[in-house]
Structure 1
Amino acid sequence: MKKKRKKYIKIAVEVVAFILFIAVLGYGLQYVDNKTEKANVSDESSINDWKIQVPRGKIKLNGNKYEYYHDFENYLLIGTDATGNNKNGADYQGSMADFLMLVIVDKTENTYSFLQFNRDTMTEVALIDHNGEGEATANIQLCTAHWYGGNREQSCENTVKSVKKLLGGIQIDGYYELNMSEIPKLNSMVDGVTVTLEDDFSKKYPKMKKGATINLDDEQAYAYVHDRYGVGDEENTSRMKRQQQYMTGFFKKLQEKVKANPNYANEVFESLQDVSTTDIAIGKISNISNIFASGTDKGIFELAGKSKIGQALGDEMDHMEFYVNKKAMVSTMSELFGIVEQKNKE
């Protein structure tokens, strides 16, 4: 079945731009209060027990209340497409947020993880006006949250609000937005990434034959992590495998750059200032943390659910809609944040 899509709701899949920036931002994020005191633990208690501290925060999922006990910092990465504009006020139109990922830093256990969102996730979105105001909401695709507002900051804040609502009120400490067109620049910052090709791209790029090991230039890198139709089995799962393969290679190259130049992450952040939107202070970025170098990577998580064609946008056109499985949501949040249900509590 062919799906009609308006330009503003088209499915852009250049996810890697922000998988790449995860690494850069991870090195740049200030690991505030590294020496946070932990509660005393008796010999019978495990240092890994989520309950070693007093509750750090609360969320509400499926009508139930939960608490979490570790000290987290969460940052939302937003990848926007080519729609919208940069004008302010009544002439401004936000772009679609085609890539959304939450970077989760557990300062208690010195770990980090990522929660990637399906851009078509159905959730409550605030329909704010060009002044950033308005009380009306709609249960529509998460990617549309960035469409609303009178400037890029308001669009980002509205997106943060929607993600926070989706995750039961979890605290989000900052956002970083970058357009997908910056993929070539990100790839060039590490002088390309070497991969053994999972699929064949030789029709367009003669050197990109399946099984070949090559250092991808900027154009090849874009194709490798973006293209799906006409490549292999054309399945998104195959593309995601390539994206994760590329990310692993990127981490390795980035670590080499940082070891050779401790200020490298700072330089990357500054080089993207003119094309990015963020509320993360430069002072925080400048105090480079070693969390991604010394901490434990818990991996990339997704919210399980099902997709279907629907018309929730109310434009009488068919669009993809992704509905998160409620039980899976609790399970994933438990693994990421160690949430514990609070029974018989008001």
Structure 2
Amino acid sequence: MRRYKRTLLAVALATSVITGTAGWASGSAQRAVTGPPPGTDAWVEDRSIGRALPHPATASARQVAGFFRTLSPPQQGELVRRHPLVVGNLDGVPVALRYRANSLAVRGTSFERLAAPGRQILAFDPRGRGQVAEVYGDLERARTVSVVVPGADIDAGTFDRTGDPYGTPTGMAKSLRTAAGNGTAVIAWAGYTTPVGVGPDAATGKLAEAGAVRLTRFGQGLKALALPAPVLFCHSYGSVVCGLGARDEGLNASGIVVFGSPGVRADSARELKTPVWAAKSADDWISKVPPVHFLGLGHGNDPTDPDFGARPVPARQAHGHSGYFVPGTDSLHAFAAIARTGGTR
């Protein structure tokens, strides 16, 4: 009975927090972007190369990769030209082709900055608030690969905002790639619909469940191209996405690092079926979120609690909710070591 009362108290506190009575901003409800990439109908009907194209909704990443290996360079180029949004978002398509396709896809949109010389855009979906993935380093030749999975308020518009740089996917990925050094590649993956603000979406798993499906598919695309299984660096609500994805045997990951996490929808690290590291700074506001999962509300145990069983990452020099990748911090130093070894550290 005493434990039950503590749970109800935690739920009440969580409810007051997410509805704004604790002084936090409420969020607006979001509809998750799911399904095959835009332009799929035209792609499926295309017979310009004299054969059927793999259906984005049913073909596996492995099947897509196999199909593209049978195409000549002119045929590949024709599909990039005719269907940049499909080629640029279809997991299993060769990396260089996706870069070319997305460079075309972003032109003429409000996100044209993504086509700047030197940027390696691995995915661009303009639906909803927009989703983006960008590569730092040489992905095709990397010995190890890392993927940064961000939390709330990240979309194509905020993906590379200049304010709060280490709270953005690009800022975190750039910092990690610089610290980890040559031989590593880091992908900033804003490939799911994130919550806006701290509201009901952030307190439930609806968007994370949809995001986990997309993250799993993305990882299968890397595997289909014979690239190293990535270490996932999961920030805030992004750790919920990673936690739910890790329950799927199809998630292609060599390890998961969660930081500033409200929980990962698991009682212990063992449930995630892969090595898990966890970090939280002393003044991260996420500590105010009750470690509860009850009637769909909250995300469960604190991953930095010793009883959870994750490997601890020092974060004494990190500050706030977005200070984990600041150059010179102990957290970034530890993250870089994990990235360099591909999760075997």
Which structure's relative contact order is higher, taking Cα pairs within 8 Å and 6+ residues apart? Answer: 1
TM-score, length basis structure 1: 0.25
More helix by share: 2
More strand by share: 1
